[in-house]
Amino acid sequence: MPDVIIIGAGISGLSCAWKLKKLGIDAAVLEASSRAGGVIRTENVNGYQIEWGPNSFQLAPRAFQIIDELGLYEELLAPDPHAPRYVFVNGRLRKFPFGPLSFGGIIRILGEPFVRSKSATDESVSGFFRRRFGGQAHDRLVAPLLTGMYAANTEHLSMAAVFPRMVEMEREYGSLAGAMLRSFTRRSNSSEPAPSRPKPRGSVFSFHGGMQVLPAKIAENVNVQYGVNHARVGDAPVTVLAVPTYRAVEILEQPHSAIANLLRKVRYAPMVIAATSLPEDSVKEPLRGFGFLAPRNQGLHLLGTLFSSALFTGRAPNER
C-alpha cells in the first residue's frame, strides 16, 4: 500500500500526485472511471477538436512549472492576446470592457475611489460590485464574466471566497483604484516559484492537442489505477480527496459525518455544452476574438459562446 492515496484523477488529483512524486513520496491515484482528466475532456470528431470541459487556462506560475517539468512547453498554444471579447447587450455584440456600458455607467465606475462603505462579513459578489462600481458594471460586465466562469448567480457567490484579495484591498486602502495605484509603487514580494524559462506571452493557453494533453501526460508519469469505485479514507496512512464535494460526501459519510454535512451545503450548477459549426461565409463579418458572454437579462438562454476556431488554430476544418 502506498503512503498516500489520492481519490480522483481529475487535474487536482493528478497535479497532487505529480507534486508528491517530485518530493519522493509514494502515492497512488484511484480513479472510478476508465480515463484521466475528470471534467477536462477533448474529443476529435470529423476534423473538429471539441472541448467538453474547460477551453483554456491561465498560466499561473505553478501551472507553468508543472507544464515545463512535463516537457509540454513547446505544446502550449496561445491566442492573440489582443483578440476582443464581447458582451451581448440590447441585441448586439459589444466589445469588452466599455462597449456594453452607457456614459452614466462609465462615470459611475470612475467614481469608485469615492465610495466610502466597506465590505460586510461575507458580502456577495453582486453586493460588492454593485456598491463599488454600480449596477450597470455589475449586470453587464462582472455578472456575465463570473457566470461564464462559475456558472453561478453572483448573488450566491461569496466575495471573500472568489476575490479575497479585492476584499483585502478595500479594507486596507479604502478603494480598489487606490490599492492598484499603490501596488505600482511597491516591489513584488511573491513566493511563487521562479520560472526556469521565460513564460510565453498570452493571457490564456491551451495545447495543440487540446486541454486533455495535460492530464493525459501527468497520468502517464504517476501511478493511476482505473475503475476503482470503492476507495475509502484510511486505506493508506494519508488520503487526499480530489473529487467533487457530492462524491466526497459519499466517501466521508460513515467516518466523518460532520464534514460530510458541511460539504453537502456546497451547491453545483448544472451546465450544458453544445458544439456548433457554421460555414465561414454564413456570417456577415469574420468571427474574431474570444467569443461573447450573455448577461441573464438579455433574453438569450445561454451563458456565452466561445469562438474556438478563431481562438486556437486546428480546431475546425477549413472554411468552418
Residue ranges that bind ligand FAD, judged by CB under 6 A:
7-13, 30-33, 38-40, 53-57, 228, 231, 242-244, 247, 251, 271, 273
- 271 vs 283 by CB, closer to ligand FAD: 271
Q: How far is the CB of 57 from ligand FAD (least distance, A)?
A: 4
- 225 vs 297 by CB, closer to ligand FAD: 225
Q: How far is the CB of 314 from ligand FAD (least distance, A)?
A: 18
- Asked whether the beta carbons of 53 and 40 are under 8 A apart, the reply is yes
Q: How far is the CB of 127 from ligand FAD (least distance, A)?
A: 24
Find residue 201's DSSP bridge partners: none
Give 134's DSSP letter: -
Give Cα separations from 308 to 49, 56, 278 (angstroms). Answer: 9, 10, 12
- 31 vs 170 by CB, closer to ligand FAD: 31
- 10 vs 144 by CB, closer to ligand FAD: 10
Q: Which residues of 263-282 are buried (b: 16+ CB within 10 A; e: fewer)?
A: beeeeeeeeeeeeeeeeeee
Q: How far is the CB of 272 from ligand FAD (least distance, A)?
A: 9
- 32 vs 83 by CB, closer to ligand FAD: 32
Q: How far is the CB of 130 from ligand FAD (least distance, A)?
A: 25
3-state secondary structure of 75: helix
